[in-house]
A and B are shown apart, each in its own frame.
Chain A
Amino acid sequence: NAGVTQTPKFQVLKTGQSMTLQCAQDMNHNSMYWYRQDPGMGLRLIYYSASEGTTDKGEVPNGYNVSRLNKREFSLRLESAAPSQTSVYFCASSELLASTDTQYFGPGTRLTVL
């Protein structure tokens, strides 16, 4: 039982390049989330998916797109990377999009955009 896995662990991009961050969970959770973590800013929600087939914007969606490929997988795409997107990205999942639900996090992807 791996929990939440993310690939890659590290990535360096040049401005304007694109890439997709992959996330998968094996806990049969319905809801999945993408966050970014920046020093002094805490965690900010980029997008979330309440259930398979649905996605919604979070606090900071600009410059990102997501795909809920199936119940297990939720990917985050940067179409044209910018230095402001240098951050650590975390994927998380929870059983339901419920107020009491605990979120389980992946190990993160450290992205640098030059």
Chain B
Amino acid sequence: AQSVAQPEDQVNVAEGNPLTVKCTYSVSGNPYLFWYVQYPNRGLQFLLKYITGDNLVKGSYGFEAEFNKSQTSFHLKKPSALVSDSALYFCAVRDRDAGNNRKLIWGLGTSLAVNP
């Protein structure tokens, strides 16, 4: 069965420090992977996605994520956190080999708190 795990409910980091939000996935085929961010009382915003090619994907607001096929992971990273990065982060996956099943599988979200 397809699934996405975000093992940390909450991540705390000091402003200026690097941040990592973890995501692991399980699909029967090859994955398409996405990161979205949700600011308080707002809808989800797309950050970045991995489709194919370079395992390091760069996205909006200075975020990047690295696809690691052997570890089935797609961790979100940023070299220097800002207080304004505090939000809820969602990882999502599709199985590219699933034919007509194009449903996006969502993680439960990780709350990131960046402390001044």
Contacts and interface: CB of A to CB of B under 8 A. Distances in A.
B46 A42 contact: no
Interface string A43-77: 11100000000000011000000000000000000
Contacts of A105: 36, 43-45
Interface residues of B, number: 22
Q: Which residue, of A42, A92, A104, has the highest number of chain B Cβ atoms within 10 A?
A: A42
Contacts, number: 48
A83 interface: no
A107 B44 CA distance: 8
Interface of B is mostly: loop
30 contacts: A4-B43, A41-B108, A42-B90, A42-B106, A43-B44, A43-B90, A43-B106, A45-B104, A59-B103, A90-B43, A92-B44, A97-B102, A98-B102, A99-B32, A99-B96, A99-B98, A99-B102, A100-B32, A100-B51, A102-B34, A102-B49, A103-B44, A103-B46, A103-B104, A104-B46, A105-B36, A105-B43, A107-B42, A108-B41, A108-B43
Interface of A: 4, 40-45, 58-59, 90, 92, 97-100, 102-108
